[in-house]
C-alpha cells in the first residue's frame, strides 16, 4: 500500500505543506491514542467551562485542542491557527506560510457512548503582510483552501484528505504508526437513497427543507417515487465519511429558533473543509442558495446552513429553495 508521503508527492503538494500535514497528523495520532484509552485515562465527561459558542466543553475537547495547538505552534510552518475551542486567533510563527483552522474533536458528545468522533481541519496560505494574530487573515473563502481533511476515530483510525487533486482515504497502520492509502480518488455516487439530518428539529426548519424531507419520507408513494433511508451519527465526521464511502445527503439547515445565527455548523472548521472534500470527490455542497466554498467569511466563528453530498440529490434539494 502507498504511504501518505508518496501520495502527497504524486499529487504535487509542496514539501513544506507535506511537512505541515505530517505534523498535524502526528497530533491526531496522539488524540487517537487518548480517545482509545477512554475511561481508563480519565478523559471522558464534561468540564464546567463553555467554549466561545456557548457549548459545554468535554475533557477531550480541551485535551485535543491543546495537543494540536502545541504541535502546530512548534512546527515553524504555521503563522496562526483558529480553533472552534479558542475565542480568538492564536499567533504562531511570524514567518509561517500557512494558516490552519480546525475542530479538534467533532462530535465530542459521542465520547461518553464510545461512538464516532473526529478531527476536522483546513489549511490556507497565510497573507505575509499581516500580523500573526490578525483574525482577518482567516477571512478567505473556501476556494482558497490548499488542503483539508478529517481524521475519524472509529474501529480503525482513518484519514480523508485532499490537496486539490481528488479525495483520498487512508488508514492508520498502528504497527508502524503511518497512514496508508486504502482508497484513492473517492467518487461520491451522484444519486442516492440515503439522507442524514436531525429530524427532531424539523418544526424549526424553513419551509423548503420541511417540504423536501417530507417528500423523502413519503417514499415511493410520494413525488420522489422511491424509498429513502435515514442515517444520523450525531458527528459530522461520521456522516460525511459514510457519504464518501457510499453516497447520501447530509443537511444541517437554518433553524428559526435563533434568526440571528445562520446555522449550527462553523464555516471555517466544519463546512468549508467538508465541502472541499465532497466537491473533490464529485459531490456538491451548498447553503441552499449558494456554494459553500464561495461564502466570504465575516468572522472566524461564523456559522452557515449546510447541505452536501451526492450531486444530483443536493441539486434536487436546492430546487425546493428556488421555490421560496
Query: DSSP letters of 208-227?
Result: HHHHHHHHHHTGGGSTT-S-
Q: What's residue 293's pLDDT?
A: 98
* Mean pLDDT computed over 15-30: 97
Nearest to 253 by CA among 316, 298, 196: 196
First to last CA, the chain: 50
- Work out whether the CA dihedral 178, 181, 182, 187 comes out positive or negative: positive
pLDDT band at 11 (very low <50, low <70, confident <90, very high): very high
Q: What's residue 49's pLDDT?
A: 53
Q: What's residue 52's pLDDT?
A: 56
Please state, rounded to an integer, the average pLDDT across all residues of the chain: 93
Is the pLDDT score of 321 beyond 50?
A: yes
Least trusted range by pLDDT, from 35-44, 82-91, 141-150: 35-44
- DSSP states along 140-208: --GGGEEEEEEEEESSSEEEEEESSS-EEEEEEETTTTEEEEEESS----S--SEEE--GGGGGGB-HH
Is the pLDDT score of 48 beyond 60?
A: no
Query: Quick check: helix, strand or coil at residue 320?
Result: helix
Q: What's residue 181's pLDDT?
A: 98
pLDDT band at 201 (very low <50, low <70, confident <90, very high): very high
Is the pLDDT score of 196 beyond 60?
A: yes
CB atoms within 10 A of CB 180: 16
* Mean pLDDT computed over 96-120: 92
CB atoms within 10 A of CB 171: 17
* Mean pLDDT computed over 220-232: 96
Is the pLDDT score of 47 beyond 80?
A: no
Going edge to edge, which strands form the sheet with 249-252? 229-230, 194-196, 249-252, 306-309, 284-286
* Mean pLDDT computed over 72-90: 96
What does the alpha-carbon distance between residue 289 and residue 251 come to, in Å, rounded to a whole number? 14
What is the b/e burial string over 300-311, where b = at least 16 CB atoms within 10 angstroms of the residue's CB?
bbbbbbbbbbbb
Q: What are phi and psi of 301, to 5 degrees?
A: -105, 20
Q: What's residue 37's pLDDT?
A: 82
Q: Which three cell numbers stand for residue 194?
A: 440515503
Q: What is the pLDDT of residues 236-290, one digit of tens each?
A: 999 999 999 999 999 999 998 888 888 899 999 999 999 999 999 999 999 999 9
Amino acid at each position: 500500500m502507498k504511504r501518505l508521503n508518496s501520495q502527497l508527492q504524486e499529487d504535487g503538494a509542496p514539501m513544506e505543506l507535506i511537512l505541515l500535514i505530517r505534523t498535524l497528523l502526528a497530533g491526531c495520532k496522539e488524540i487517537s491514542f487518548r480517545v482509545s484509552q477512554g475511561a481508563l485515562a480519565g478523559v471522558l465527561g464534561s468540564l464546567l467551562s463553555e467554549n466561545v459558542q456557548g457549548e459545554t466543553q468535554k475533557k477531550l475537547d480541551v485535551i485535543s485542542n491543546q495537543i494540536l495547538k502545541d504541535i502546530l505552534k512548534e512546527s515553524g510552518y504555521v503563522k496562526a491557527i483558529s480553533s472552534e475551542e479558542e475565542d480568538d486567533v492564536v499567533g504562531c510563527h511570524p514567518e509561517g506560510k500557512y494558516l490552519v483552522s480546525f475542530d479538534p474533536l467533532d462530535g465530542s458528545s459521542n465520547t461518553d457512548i464510545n461512538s464516532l468522533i473526529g478531527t476536522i481541519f483546513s489549511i490556507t496560505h497565510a497573507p505575509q503582510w499581516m500580523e500573526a494574530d490578525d483574525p482577518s487573515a482567516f477571512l478567505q473563502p473556501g476556494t482558497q483552501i490548499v488542503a483539508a481533511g478529517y481524521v475519524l476515530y472509529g474501529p480503525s483510525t482513518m484519514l480523508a484528505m485532499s490537496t486539490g487533486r481528488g479525495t483520498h482515504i487512508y488508514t492508520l497502520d498502528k504497527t508502524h504508526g503511518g497512514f496508508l492509502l486504502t482508497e484513492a480518488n473517492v467518487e461520491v455516487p451522484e444519486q442516492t437513497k440515503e439522507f442524514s439530518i436531525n429530524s427532531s428539529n424539523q418544526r424549526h426548519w424553513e419551509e423548503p427543507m420541511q417540504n423536501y424531507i417530507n417528500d423523502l419520507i413519503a417514499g415511493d408513494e410520494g413525488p420522489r417515487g422511491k424509498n429513502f433511508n435515514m442515517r444520523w451519527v450525531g458527528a459530522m465526521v461520521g456522516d460525511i465519511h459514510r457519504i464518501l464511502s457510499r453516497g447520501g445527503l447530509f443537511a444541517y439547515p437554518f433553524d428559526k429558533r435563533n434568526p440571528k445565527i445562520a446555522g449550527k455548523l462553523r464555516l471555517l472548521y466544519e463546512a468549508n473543509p467538508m465541502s472541499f472534500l465532497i466537491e473533490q470527490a464529485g459531490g456538491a455542497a451548498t447553503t441552499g442558495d449558494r456554494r459553500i466554498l464561495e461564502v466570504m467569511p465575516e468572522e472566524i466563528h461564523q456559522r452557515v446552513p449546510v447541505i452536501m453530498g451526492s450531486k444530483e440529490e443536493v441539486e434536487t434539494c436546492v430546487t425546493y429553495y428556488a421555490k421560496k
